[in-house]
């Protein structure tokens, strides 16, 4: 087996995703001295993303740029990637635990008969051994794992591993041609971008989240306004999703997404254990709730007891002033 | 239509986690069908109601996992298979190899599973099974329509929705919003007692030892550090809002 790590990077909205730089760091933490690290990025109109990526990789940046690859598709991406991986023969592959990474990594793992450790939040070394920590039960507990056979495949949770520093000299960009596979069995007919221009919930540094206390779909407007001022994303509790106030894509909890932002603002969320599992690893938790007995206050760094519809506009105004 | 559902028995999502040495304690724990797998079971039943056919639920797990399979039978599944063998390691490579060996003996039109399990949460097994069986797959689906040997699905991708057409046979993993799972009815529960639930071990599957050796292993378990209650702000709401922003800037250094 070679001593070569490959980072599979991702673009979003014309930019390299932050999690891809964290994946470069994860490869550096996993690699032994002297191991090579290269990157692979697929998509369309990737000149800028490839250039950004090359600043952080001293090895090669492999680029497959084609209109058919604009949106992630398991079949097209695999057919573009597998010959490249075949020639690179990596001992490790690192991806973000994103919509793409969650789908692609197990496919590559099955194809390579490899082990995969998913959703890694930290990486430690103990002698020559590399240990990977990941949440189980959505963060109610953590397990530490290691690989017992190569190659190693990792997906890393956004916002947990620090991003890589710039390399001393930029890597070399290598373009590869793409040939569409014959007999595609899956075809993307349409992509409805609801989240365009928005920060992805799992990568957001600030999350403003609403629960049953938001009372309606319209009730999310003050949360949206606060999130916009803060450059954050809006999330929700299961209660709010089940009540039909918002899309399940926003749900945070043991069912739904787990988020670890710098600041989590829980609005009208009581703090059921299934919700706490999805957000209690956030750095700072702020709770806004009418009920002073709500369990969310027991884990919040700062609490405001009050009606969210009164508090949020005041808070939005104060942030707007402070960030001006 | 021949439909298979891969399901896992998990802790109820309201359970607290207590460690018992190097294991998670199961004392007094309520077990359920993994919520995402429950959407998969429901979708399989709806497909059967529309198109006819047979729904088989399959699980790899300890003997207690039979209860989850029994629940799926009570919801309306026709047959169940429990693969239970202490020699099967808790590694996704191993689990998917065992499941694929079982499914390879069948001719499935559709295989359904959950998007991930709420316990291990690695989200690997179903997608690995698709690859091992040579089936196309779409993960995290919120809608599934089947007609004329193909499926039209909607996939949730970080808030965006993709409309995808897939040639059957294929594997899908269920995301929240796909459907509202039914509760088992009383007659359903009675009927489930008579439905076939086969127990298989590795010997019946004909998998030689060594063909599913784990690729990863767990070294230790820990609980997250406890969070303590912080401060409840005082004063009128406008003052509190201003104080919060000031605390975030000066004390927490977060903005």
Any idea which residue has 């891969």 for tokens? B6
Residue B88, Cβ neighbours under 10 Å: how many? 21
A191 vs B137: CA distance, rounded Å:
17
Residue A249, Cβ neighbours under 10 Å: how many? 24
Strands (DSSP E) along B70-149, which ranges? 79-83, 110-114, 137-147
Over residues B221-241, mean pLDDT: 93
A257 vs B123: CA distance, rounded Å:
13
Look at domain B2-205 and name its CATH class: alpha beta
Over residues B76-88, mean pLDDT: 97
Contact B162 A190 (CB under 8 A): yes
From A198, which residue of chain B is nearest by alpha-carbon distance? Answer: B159
Q: In chain B, where does the domain assigned CATH 3.40.50.620 lie?
A: 2-205
B218 vs A276: CA distance, rounded Å:
25
- Looking at residue A193, its pLDDT comes to 82
Instruction: Tell which B residues from 219 to 238 touch A, by Cβ distance under 8 Å.
Output: 219-224, 227-233, 237-238
Every domain of chain A and the residues it spans: 4-176, 201-323
- Looking at residue B47, its pLDDT comes to 98
CA distance B251 to chain A (A): 11
- Looking at residue A197, its pLDDT comes to 54
> What CATH homologous superfamily does A201-323 map to?
TPP-binding domain (3.40.50.1220)
- Looking at residue A101, its pLDDT comes to 98
Closest CA to A132 of A34, A56, A27: A27
Task: Tell me the pLDDT tens digit for each residue of B120-151.
Answer: 999 999 999 999 999 999 999 999 999 999 99
Residues 6+ apart with CB under 8 A from B215: A113, A114, A115, A116, A147, A148, A149, B91, B93, B94
Instruction: Please report residues of A whose CB lies closer than 8 A to that of B21.
Output: none
Nearest neighbour of B221 by CB, restricted to A143, A272, A299: A143
Mean per-residue pLDDT over chain A, rounded: 95
Q: Identical fold at A4-176 and A201-323? A: yes
Q: Both tokens of residue B244?
A: 């919060």
Task: Tell me the pLDDT tens digit for each residue of A263-308.
Answer: 999 999 999 999 999 999 999 999 999 999 999 999 999 999 999 9
Cα–Cα distances in Å, from B140 out to A35, A203, B144? Answer: 35, 19, 11
- Looking at residue B63, its pLDDT comes to 97
Task: Tell me the pLDDT tens digit for each residue of B152-168.
Answer: 999 999 878 999 999 99
- Looking at residue A293, its pLDDT comes to 96
pLDDT surpasses 80 at B36: yes
Residues 6+ apart with CB under 8 A from B223: A140, A141, A142, B17, B19
**Angle formed at CA A303 by CA A305 and CA A323, multiple of 5 degrees:** 110
Closest CA to A253 of B36, B128, B183, B18: B36
From B17, which residue of chain A is nearest by alpha-carbon distance? Answer: A140
Task: Tell me the pLDDT tens digit for each residue of A8-18.
Answer: 999 988 899 99
B155 vs A289: CA distance, rounded Å:
34
DSSP code of residue A298: G
> What CATH homologous superfamily does A4-176 map to?
HUPs (3.40.50.620)
Contact B158 A301 (CB under 8 A): no
DSSP code of residue A214: G
- Looking at residue A195, its pLDDT comes to 57
Instruction: Please report residues of B whose CB lies closer than 8 A to that of A141.
Output: 17, 19, 24, 221-224
DSSP code of residue A210: E
Residues of chain A with pLDDT under 70: 1-2, 195-198
């Amino acid at each position: 087996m070679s001593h070569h790590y490959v980072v599979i990077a991702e673009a979003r909205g014309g930019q390299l995703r932050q999690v891809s730089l964290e994946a470069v760091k994860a490869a550096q933490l996993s690699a032994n001295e002297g191991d090579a690290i290269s990157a692979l990025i697929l998509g369309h109109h990737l000149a800028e993303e490839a250039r950004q990526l090359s600043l952080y990789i001293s090895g090669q940046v492999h680029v497959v740029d084609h209109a058919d690859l604009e949106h992630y598709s398991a079949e097209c991406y695999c057919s573009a990637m597998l010959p490249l991986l075949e020639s690179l023969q990596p001992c490790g592959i690192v991806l973000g635990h994103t919509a793409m990474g969650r789908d692609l990594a197990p496919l590559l793992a099955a194809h390579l008969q490899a082990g995969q450790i998913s959703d890694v939040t930290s990486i430690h070394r103990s002698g020559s051994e590399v240990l990977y920590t990941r949440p189980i039960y959505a963060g109610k507990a953590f397990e530490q794992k290691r690989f017992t056979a190569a190659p190693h495949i990792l997906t890393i949770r956004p916002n947990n591993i620090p991003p890589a520093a710039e390399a001393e000299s930029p890597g070399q960009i290598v373009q590869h041609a793409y040939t569409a596979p014959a007999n595609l069995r899956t075809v993307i007919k349409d992509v409805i971008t609801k989240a365009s221009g928005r920060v992805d919930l799992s990568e957001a540094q600030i999350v403003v989240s609403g629960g049953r206390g938001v009372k309606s779909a319209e009730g999310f407007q003050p949360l949206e306004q606060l999130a916009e001022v803060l450059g954050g994303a809006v999330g929700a509790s299961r209660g709010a999703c089940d009540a039909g106030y918002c899309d399940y894509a926003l749900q945070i909890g043991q069912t739904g997404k787990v988020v670890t932002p710098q600041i989590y603002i829980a609005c009208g969320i009581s703090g059921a254990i299934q919700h706490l599992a999805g957000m209690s690893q956030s750095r700072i938790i702020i709770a806004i709730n009418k009920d002073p007995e709500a369990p969310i206050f027991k884990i919040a760094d700062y609490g405001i007891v009050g009606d969210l519809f009164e508090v949020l506009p005041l808070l939005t105004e104060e942030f707007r002033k402070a960030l001006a | 239509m021949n439909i298979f559902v891969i399901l896992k028995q998990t802790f109820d999502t309201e359970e607290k986690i207590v460690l018992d040495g190097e294991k998670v304690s199961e004392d007094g724990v309520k077990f359920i069908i993994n919520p995402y797998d429950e959407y998969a079971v429901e979708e399989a039943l709806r497909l059967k109601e529309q198109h006819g056919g047979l729904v088989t639920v399959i699980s790899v797990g300890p003997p207690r996992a039979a209860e989850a399979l029994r629940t799926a039978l009570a919801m309306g599944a026709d047959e169940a298979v429990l693969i239970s063998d202490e020699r099967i390691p808790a590694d996704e490579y191993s689990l998917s190899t065992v499941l694929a060996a079982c499914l390879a003996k069948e001719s499935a039109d559709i295989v359904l599973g959950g998007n991930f399990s709420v316990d291990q949460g690695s989200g690997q097994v179903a997608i690995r099974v698709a690859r091992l069986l040579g089936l196309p797959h779409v993960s995290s689906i919120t809608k599934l329509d089947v007609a004329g040997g193909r499926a039209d699905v909607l996939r949730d991708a970080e808030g965006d929705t993709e409309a995808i057409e897939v040639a059957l046979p294929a594997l899908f993993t269920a995301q929240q919003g796909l459907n509202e799972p039914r509760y088992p009815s009383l007659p359903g529960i009675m009927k489930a007692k008579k439905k076939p639930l086969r127990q298989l071990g590795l010997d019946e599957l004909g998998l030689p030892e060594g063909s599913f050796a784990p690729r990863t292993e767990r070294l230790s378990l820990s609980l997250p550090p406890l969070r303590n209650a912080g401060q409840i702000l005082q004063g009128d709401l406008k003052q509190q809002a201003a104080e919060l922003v000031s605390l975030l800037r000066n004390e927490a250094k977060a903005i």
